[in-house]
Structure 1
Amino acid sequence: MEDRQALVTLEQEIFPEDPWTTGMIAQELSSGRSVYFGVCVNDDAVAPPVLYGYAGIALGIDADVMTMGVLPDFRGRGLGRVLMDALIDVARRWGSERVFLEVRESNAAAISLYENSGFEVVGRTKGYFRNPREDALNMRLIVR
């Protein structure tokens, strides 16, 4: 439960305008087909490591990136790349053929990361995101 609350707090810091609820996080973590990764940094040999970001993927022939984010102060340091590489690796090992994700069309940094990871835009979903309402770009990576 303590870990779940830490994840809820992290979610609120990463996505302050539209965070997942405690119930949504609990449901995802208990899903039998989802895998989640966290990225921790320990700058101090005495203090415990600090969770700076996390990402999750629902596995299947078509895998879906459920969420991915890094704390604002730690973006641009390669942590998102580490998380994306882990998601792609687990999808490949599981036997997924494709990985899909949705991203806010205004999130240029994330789109660049995804394109550099091999994803391509395959569509758009009008009004997918709320608070603020925004279209999503649908992206796909062929992993087989």
Structure 2
Amino acid sequence: MTPDDLPVVQRLEALLYPDDAWSTEMFRSELADQAGTRHYVVAVAPPESSPPAAGATEEIVGYAGLAAAGGQGDVQTIGVRSDRRGRGIGAALLTALLDEAARRDCEVVFLEVRADNEAARKLYERFGFTEISVRKRYYQPSGVDAIVMCRQSTPPRKRTTGFGPVGGADE
């Protein structure tokens, strides 16, 4: 995601999360630290017109963001345009975030999801996230609870050679 994407992302954010949409300034602040602790991506697809209009370009149909520092990642946001849901876009966005978390050596990744968003919860469970707590009335002004979920990275398996582990006293 770049600052040039923000007008479209902001419109999509307002449609998806009308009660608690992030402001353009919030997104700008997140993007300002992409080289440091943040990673934001967009999903693009060709317009769905048959046949595509002359000169039609790809359009943003989803976006996602990650905060990562100190071995911990936090999924900040994932949004997919409602008419494009159920096509694997959310899974692709989450995969991109988890790949980045691994690249940044995050041992654990957290997220909050609305308790009433069953589809998102199922997606996160498919990716190995488990519920660890509930934040009562987290989403405002609706008062919907947030389910806090966590995904631990799989520790690397120890390789063995001979009678001891690689890097052990036998080497």
* TM-score between the two structures when normalised by the length of structure 1: 0.93
How far residue 25 of structure 1 moved from its aligned partner, in angstroms, is 1.2
How far residue 49 of structure 1 moved from its aligned partner, in angstroms, is 0.5
Q: Which residue of 1 aligns with 2:164?
A: none
Higher relative contact order (CA 8 A, sep 6+): 1
Q: What is the 5 A alignment of 1:76-95?
A: 76-95=86-105
Q: What is the 5 A alignment of 1:103-142?
A: 103-142=113-152
Structure 1 counterpart of 2:45, one-letter code: V
Q: What is the number of residues matched between the two proteins?
A: 144
Secondary structure of 1:59 counterpart: strand
2:38 is equivalent to residue 34 of structure 1? yes
Q: Which residue of 1 aligns with 2:159?
A: none
Q: Once the two structures are superposed, what CA deviation does each residue of 1:91-118 show, in whole Å capped at 9, x if it has no partner? A: 0111000000000111000000000011
Q: Which residue of 1 aligns with 2:18?
A: 16
**2:146 and 2:44 mapped to 1: Cα distance?**
28
Q: Which residue of 1 aligns with 2:166?
A: none
Point out where structure 2 has 5 or more consecutive residues left out of the alignment.
Answer: 155-171
CA RMSD of aligned residues (A): 1.4
Secondary structure of 1:47 counterpart: coil
* TM-score between the two structures when normalised by the length of structure 2: 0.79
Q: What is the 5 A alignment of 1:39-58?
A: 39-43=43-47, 44=52, 46-58=55-67
Secondary structure of 1:89 counterpart: helix
Q: Greater CA radius of gyration, 1 or 2?
A: 2
Point out where structure 1 has 5 or more consecutive residues left out of the alignment.
Answer: none
**2:85 and 2:59 mapped to 1: Cα distance?**
15
Structure 1 86/5 Cα, relative in aligned 2: closer, same or farther at 3 Å? Answer: same
